[in-house]
Amino acid sequence: MDCLKYDVIIIGTGISGLFTALNIDKRKNILMLTKKALGSGSSELAQGGIVSCIDKDSHYKDTLIAGSYYNEKDAIITLQDESEDSINKLIELGVDFDKDESGNFLYTKEGGHSNARILHHKDATGKEIIRALTDKVRERKNIKVLENTSVIDILSKKEINAVISIGDSLKIFYAKSVVIATGGIGQVYKNTTNPLDITGDGIAIASRAGINICDMEFVQFHPTGMYSVDEERRTLISEAVRGEGAVLRNIKGERFMEKYHEMKELAPRDIVSISIFKELIETNSDYIFLDVTHLDKDFIKNRFPNIYEKCLSLGIDISKDYVKVSPTQHYLMGGIETNLNGRTNLNGIFACGECARTGVHGANRLASNSLLEGIVFANRISREINSISFSEASISKEDLEKDLKLYKGKFNNFNCILDLDDIKDNIKEIMEKYVGVIKNDENLTRSLDTINKIKQSLENNLKLSKDYFEVINIVTVSKLIIEGAIKRKENIGAHFKADLRRDCIVR
Ligand code: SIN
C-alpha cells in the first residue's frame, strides 16, 4: 500500500490532461494517472483537426447554429479569445500543422463550418499533437506518470482530496488540486469510434463523489463511421473528407442530403446523422456510401494517407470504390459541469476535455471545436492551479489508515459472482439499440428499468477490481444518459426522440 502527496493529480493523459500538466508551474509536483499508456485515448485518434478562430464572427455563429443555440455564449467567447495563444503554445511545444509551399498554414472545412478554418496534420492531427505533448511531458522532472492505473474513486476533503486507484495494487494519493481529464463515454455503445478504454470513468467517479453532471443526453453520432459488424472500435472516416468534396449516397447510389439541408453533406453533424438514419429506414439498409471517387487519386493519397491505407487494407480502394458508412457514437457534449475556470462544485476538483461540460458545444458540437476546447480550458485550469498556494495539509499515518479502512470497509465480505463481460455486452446492446440517433420514451423507460436492475445487482456484489469499476462506470454513465433523454421534452441538437415533434430539421 502506497500513500503519496502531490500538489496536483491529473487523471487522464489525452490532449487536455497533458496540456494542463505542461502549463502548471514547474515547482509543483504533478502526478498523472492513466488507465493505459501515456497519451493513449481518443485525442490521438482525432483525424480532422483543430479549429482556429481566424474569423471570430462566423465561427461564433457556426458554433451556435451547430449547438442549436443551447451553448453558453461566454464559454464560446472565452474559447475564441484564448484560441490564438493556445494554438501558438501548441506550435511552441512542437506540433507541426500542414503548410503550403510558402509556409502558410493550410486550412480545411468540416460539417457546419461556413469557412475553411481548421488546422490539420494530414489526417492524423491528434496523433501529431499527442506525439509533441508526450515528448515534452517525458522531459519534465516535476511530472510523474503512472501508466496502467485506473482511478476508481475520489474522496473530497476540506483541505486535500484523495484519489483511489488500482494499478498493481490499491493506492491512495492525495493532492489539493485534482483534474479529471478522462475523455468521453464511447464504449458505453456497441458501435463507437472511441478506443476500448473510453468507458466514461471520470464522469462516473465524479458522480459518485457528488459532483454535478449535466446534459448527458447530448451524445454525438459521427455520420461516417466505417460500417462493420464485429469491430470493437469503428474506424472513423473524417468529416474533412466531405470537407474536401466527398458526397453521401444511399444504397441505391442516390445523393440524398439536399432533401434534408441546404448545406447538404456539410450540414452540422447531428443533422447529417439524423438524415442518414431516416434514409437507412427508408431504404431498409444498415449503411450508406461515402463517395470520393471523383477526387484526384494523388490528392486523396496525400491528404488522407491513413484513411486511404486503412481502407486499402480492407480491400477498398477509395479512389475507385464507395465506402460503407453509418452514424457511429463519437463524442459527448454533456458531462462534468464546470465554470469557465474548469472548477466543479467540489473544492479543488477540476475537469477539462470531453468529460467536462463547459457549455461551448451546446446540444451538438461543431466539428473540430473539441481539441481547441481541450487546450483552452486546460490552460485556464493550469492558471487557476498556479494561483493556488502550495498545500500545507500534511497526511498523517492515522489519516491514511482511516481513509483506507473506511474505503475498503465497503468491500468487506463481498465477492462478485456476476459475469462482468456479459453485463458489459448487454448494456452496449441496449444503448446501441434504444439510446441511439433516434430514440423514443417507451424504449428509454424500459432500458432504464433494466439498467437500474443491473446497477442494483452490481451494488449487491461489490468487488475491488479494475474490471468491476469499469463495468459499474459504464452502467452509471448509461443511466445518466437515459435519465437525461427521458427528462428532455424537446428535440434539440443531438437529442432526438421520434415521439416528440420537430417539424423540420433545418435550422
Ligand atoms: C473528424 O475528423 O471527422 C472528427 C473531427 C471531430 O470530431 O471534430
Q: What pLDDT score does 2 carry?
A: 55
Comparing CA positions, the residue from 45, 43, 41 lying closest to residue 310 is: 45
Compute the distance between CA of residue 470 and CA of residue 200 in angstroms, rounded to an integer. Answer: 9
**Close Cβ partners of 39 (under 8 Å, ≥ 6 residues apart):** 13, 14, 18, 130, 131, 133, 134
Write out the catalytic residue numbers.
Answer: 269
Q: pLDDT tier at 317 (50, 70, 90 boundaries)? A: very high
Average pLDDT over residues 8-26: 98
Q: 239: Cβ below 6 Å to ligand 1?
A: yes
Average pLDDT over residues 320-328: 98
Comparing CA positions, the residue from 368, 375, 378 lying closest to residue 52 is: 368
Strand-pair category, 247-249 with 323-332: unpaired
Residue nearest to atom 1 of ligand 1 (CA): 238
User: Given a cut of 90, is residue 216 above it in pLDDT?
Assistant: yes
Average pLDDT over residues 43-72: 97
Overall size of the chain counted in residues: 507
In this structure, what DSSP letter does residue 492 have?
B
pLDDT digits (tens, 9 = 90+) for 272-287: 999 999 999 999 999 9
User: How many angstroms separate the alpha carbon of residue 210 from the centre of ligand 1?
Assistant: 32
Q: What pLDDT score does 506 carry?
A: 47
Q: Per 3-state DSSP, what percentage of the chain is helix, strand, and coil (rounded to 5)?
A: 40, 20, 40
The kind and range of the H/E element at 180 are: strand 170-180
Q: pLDDT tier at 417 (50, 70, 90 boundaries)? A: confident
User: Given a cut of 50, is residue 420 above it in pLDDT?
Assistant: yes
For a ligand 1 pocket test, name from 238, 273, 361, 371 the mutation site with the most ligand atoms within 8 angstroms of its C-beta: 238
Q: What pLDDT score does 394 carry?
A: 81
Q: What pLDDT score does 502 carry?
A: 57
Comparing CA positions, the residue from 8, 113, 22, 16 lying closest to residue 335 is: 16
> 228-328 — its CATH code?
3.90.700.10
Beta bridge pairs of residue 154: 163
Compute the distance between CA of residue 173 and CA of residue 171 in angstroms, rounded to an integer. Answer: 7
Q: What pLDDT score does 399 carry?
A: 83
Q: What pLDDT score does 398 carry?
A: 84
Residue indicated by cell numbers 449487491:
460
Q: 240: Cβ below 6 Å to ligand 1?
A: yes
Compute the distance between CA of residue 19 and CA of residue 381 in angstroms, rounded to an integer. Answer: 10
Mean confidence (pLDDT) of the chain: 95
Q: pLDDT tier at 504 (50, 70, 90 boundaries)? A: very low
Alpha helices in 172-322 (DSSP H): 201-209, 239-243, 269-283, 297-303, 305-313
User: How many angstroms separate the alpha carbon of residue 403 from the centre of ligand 1?
Assistant: 42
Cβ-contact 432, 188 below 8 angstroms:
no
Of 7-21, 82-96, 313-327, 414-428, give the lowest mean pLDDT range. Answer: 414-428
Q: What pLDDT score does 503 carry?
A: 45
Q: What pLDDT score does 24 carry?
A: 98
Q: pLDDT tier at 413 (50, 70, 90 boundaries)? A: low
Q: What pLDDT score does 397 carry?
A: 80
Q: What are phi and psi of 452, to 5 degrees?
A: -60, -40
Q: 238: Cβ below 6 Å to ligand 1?
A: yes
Compute the distance between CA of residue 8 and CA of residue 144 in angstroms, rounded to an integer. Answer: 11
User: How many angstroms separate the alpha carbon of residue 103 from the centre of ligand 1?
Assistant: 25
pLDDT digits (tens, 9 = 90+) for 432-485: 999 999 999 999 999 999 999 999 999 999 999 999 999 999 999 999 999 999
Cβ-contact 186, 194 below 8 angstroms:
yes
Of 43-52, 137-146, 327-336, 405-414, give the lowest mean pLDDT range. Answer: 405-414
User: How many angstroms separate the alpha carbon of residue 264 from the centre of ligand 1?
Assistant: 17
User: Given a cut of 90, is residue 404 above it in pLDDT?
Assistant: no
Q: What are phi and psi of 466, to 5 degrees?
A: -60, -45
Of 137-141, 227-231, 396-400, give the lowest mean pLDDT range. Answer: 396-400
Comparing CA positions, the residue from 297, 236, 273 lying closest to residue 47 is: 236
For ligand 1, what atom is nearest to the CA of residue 48? 2
Q: pLDDT tier at 316 (50, 70, 90 boundaries)? A: very high
Record the cell numbers describing residue 131, joined without a space: 506525439
List C-alpha distances in Å: 243 to 46, 56, 135, 379, 493. 15, 20, 31, 29, 21
Cβ-contact 204, 35 below 8 angstroms:
no
Q: What pLDDT score does 77 carry?
A: 98
Average pLDDT over residues 193-201: 97
**Close Cβ partners of 254 (under 8 Å, ≥ 6 residues apart):** none
Residue-wise burial string across 467-505, b where 16 or more C-beta atoms lie within 10 A, e elsewhere: ebbbbbbbbbbbbbbbbbbbebeebbbbbbbeeeeeeeb
For ligand 1, what atom is nearest to the CA of residue 369? 8
Strand order in the sheet with 219-226: 219-226, 323-332, 288-291, 247-249
Q: 370: Cβ below 6 Å to ligand 1?
A: yes
Average pLDDT over residues 204-224: 98
Cβ-contact 146, 31 below 8 angstroms:
yes
Q: What pLDDT score does 3 carry?
A: 59
User: How many angstroms separate the alpha carbon of residue 404 from the centre of ligand 1?
Assistant: 42
User: Given a cut of 70, is residue 177 above it in pLDDT?
Assistant: yes
Q: What pLDDT score does 501 carry?
A: 62
Compute the distance between CA of residue 176 and CA of residue 80 in angstroms, rounded to an integer. Answer: 30
